[in-house]
Amino acid sequence: MQPYLIAPSILSADFARLGDDVAAVLAADADVVHFDVMDNHYVPNLTMGPMVCKALRDYGITAPIDVHLMVEPVDALVPQFAKAGASIISFHPEASKHIDRTVQLIKDHGCQAGLVFNPATPLSYLDYMLDKIDLVLLMSVNPGFGGQKFIPATLDKLAAVRKLIDSRGLDVRLEVDGGVTIDNINAIAQAGADMFVAGSAIFNTDNYADAIAKMRQQLALVAR
């Protein structure tokens, strides 16, 4: 398994001073910037597009940017986000008509590719795709909003994906997104996740470094 990564969701950052806030959370020892793209079509909310991603790069953000596309259709945005500086691009398989083609498109544009599963999305989408992707992202809330409560059934789903990845000897990241906190991150890691998105649990505190350090303390207790 790869080292744990903490990926603050900038959905909960201060949009009026986004560059400074993203720089602050990275200085507080975050690993990756989780960038939530919502289109008011696939999900009932509207957030940010490639221009904002590019603006963060132009501002000087060099950390990996993990773009979580909650959009339908998907393909037209892939080249735009790659050009804007995305490192990882993940999408919801049911939002793409040709999943394999979309994954290939992401890779052809030099980014890592991920598939995202809503709480009720079956894992069967992985049957012919697991060895072609870099990351599986399990949603532990229904997508569209930050600040929701972690859905406990995600733990079993994480364990099932971890088993699948390990049984095939693959180096695929297992990311979890939604309702991750200092209190539940240990159990989530025990279940098999190695990359943790947390928005409100980091940005809604007045000390990002403290929140991230406490998450890392919990992760250090996991037997791997």
Ligand X SMILES: O=C(CO)[C@H](O)[C@H](O)COP(=O)(O)O
Residues 54-93 contacting Fe ion, CB under 5 A = 68
- The C-alpha atoms of residue 84 and residue 112 are separated, in whole angstroms, by 14
The verdict on whether residue 177 carries a ligand-binding annotation is yes
The verdict on whether residue 169 carries a ligand-binding annotation is no
12 vs 102, beta carbon nearer ligand X: 12
Residues 16-35 contacting ligand X, CB under 6 A = 34
Peptide bond into 143 cis (omega under 30): no
The verdict on whether residue 49 carries a ligand-binding annotation is no
Distances (CA, A) of 111 to 33, 102, 104: 15, 12, 10
Q: How many CA atoms lie within 13 A of 111 on its CB side?
A: 29
Query: Residue 103 in contact with residue 133, Cβ under 8 Å?
Result: yes
Least distance (Å) between residue 138 CB and Fe ion? 11
Residues 84-94 as b or e (16 or more Cβ within 10 Å = b) = bbbbbbbbbbe
146 vs 163, beta carbon nearer ligand X: 146
Q: Do you know the residue count of the chain?
A: 224
- The C-alpha atoms of residue 177 and residue 136 are separated, in whole angstroms, by 11
The verdict on whether residue 60 carries a ligand-binding annotation is no
The answer to whether residue 131 is catalytic is no
The verdict on whether residue 15 carries a ligand-binding annotation is no
Site string for ligand X, 34-63 (x = CB under 6 A): x-x---------------------------
Catalytic residue among 21, 39, 66, 177: 177
Q: What is the bridge-based pairing of β-strands 65-70 and 88-91?
A: parallel
Does 12 interact with ligand X (rule: CB under 6 A)?
yes
Query: Residue 46 in contact with residue 78, Cβ under 8 Å?
Result: no
Least distance (Å) between residue 66 CB and ligand X? 9
Residues 6+ apart with CB under 8 A from 170: 130, 131
Residue in 177, 179, 185, 215 binding Fe ion, rule: CB under 5 A? 177
**Sequence ranges of the binding site:** 9, 34, 36, 68, 144-147, 177-179, 199-200
Residues that bind Fe ion (CB under 5 A): 36, 68, 177
**Sequence ranges of the binding site for substrate:** 9, 68, 144-147, 177-179, 199-200
Residues that bind ligand X (CB under 6 A): 9, 11-12, 34, 36, 68, 70, 141, 143-148, 177-180, 197-201
- Give the residue numbers marked as catalytic: 36, 177
